[in-house]
């Protein structure tokens, strides 16, 4: 089953809200562990609230608190909220999920992602923002040293590596450019920039 925007919308059209909510929670949660994307992270919070709201509607209907017409109204609101989330998820999200997320059948029972071999080298979420800040501090010191010694090429490359490493500046750049990277690719790029930058440093 193709894991794309149209497939998610088809679940809404087929009144499979429970399955869709579970699917979105699982895919967005996985995406958060692999990429730093402020838009997707915000959708995760919205999905948690929407999931709770959907469960409350079901419980209220079972207990007779809501009549049939009220349930339909609330379910239509859920549909609109789901469509809004699906429509505003970046296209890169669906591409990354379809290409790199392990093939599993989520607890919702809805299959997704073809049985393809894993193509991505993923660094676990344990490499969190704290580690990135430590690395950014170290790179910042190298960059400052290059500036003091007037090694401007080394300074420029290590400064870019520092910006990619620091969570705040990386998230800002991702939001502005709408480009996100996996942790593995991000770390590889940082290391490459640092090594190339240091190769331009003038021996003292």
Determine the pLDDT at residue 102. Answer: 64
| Residue 186 confidence class, pLDDT cut points 50, 70, 90 | confident
| Residue 97 confidence class, pLDDT cut points 50, 70, 90 | confident
In a domain, 108, yes or no: no
Average of per-residue pLDDT values in the chain: 81
Count of the separate structural domains present in the chain:
2
Residue 46: alpha-carbon gap to chain centroid: 14
In a domain, 87, yes or no: yes
Contact predicate 100/182, CB 8 Å: yes
pLDDT digits (tens, 9 = 90+) for 5-29: 898 999 998 889 899 999 999 999 9
Contact predicate 68/62, CB 8 Å: no
- Same structural domain, 19 and 96: yes
For residue 71 the two structure tokens come to 């349930």
pLDDT digits (tens, 9 = 90+) for 44-64: 999 999 999 999 988 888 888
Determine the pLDDT at residue 168. Answer: 82
Contact predicate 40/90, CB 8 Å: yes
Distance CA 106, CA 111 (A): 7
pTM of the model: 0.51
- Same structural domain, 93 and 135: no
In a domain, 162, yes or no: yes
Q: Please compute the mean of the pLDDT values over residues 143-166 and round it to a whole number.
A: 89
């Amino acid at each position: 089953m193709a894991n794309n925007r149209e497939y998610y919308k088809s679940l809404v059209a087929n009144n499979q809200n429970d399955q869709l909510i579970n699917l979105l929670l699982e895919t967005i949660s996985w995406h958060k562990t692999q990429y730093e994307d402020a838009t997707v992270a915000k959708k995760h919070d919205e999905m948690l609230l929407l999931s709770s709201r959907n469960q409350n509607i079901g419980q209220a209907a079972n207990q007779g608190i809501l009549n049939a017409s009220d349930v339909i109204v609330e379910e239509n609101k859920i549909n609109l909220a789901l469509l809004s989330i699906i429509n505003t998820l970046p296209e890169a999200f669906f591409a990354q999920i379809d290409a790199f997320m392990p093939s599993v059948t989520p607890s919702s029972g809805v299959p997704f992602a073809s049985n393809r071999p894993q193509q991505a080298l993923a660094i676990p979420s344990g490499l969190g923002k704290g580690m990135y800040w430590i690395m950014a501090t170290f790179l910042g010191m190298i960059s400052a040293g290059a500036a003091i010694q007037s090694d401007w090429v080394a300074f420029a490359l290590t400064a870019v590596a520092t910006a990619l490493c620091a969570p705040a500046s990386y998230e800002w750049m991702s939001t502005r450019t709408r480009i996100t990277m996996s942790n593995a690719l991000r770390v590889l790029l940082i290391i490459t920039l640092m090594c190339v930058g240091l190769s331009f440093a003038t021996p003292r």
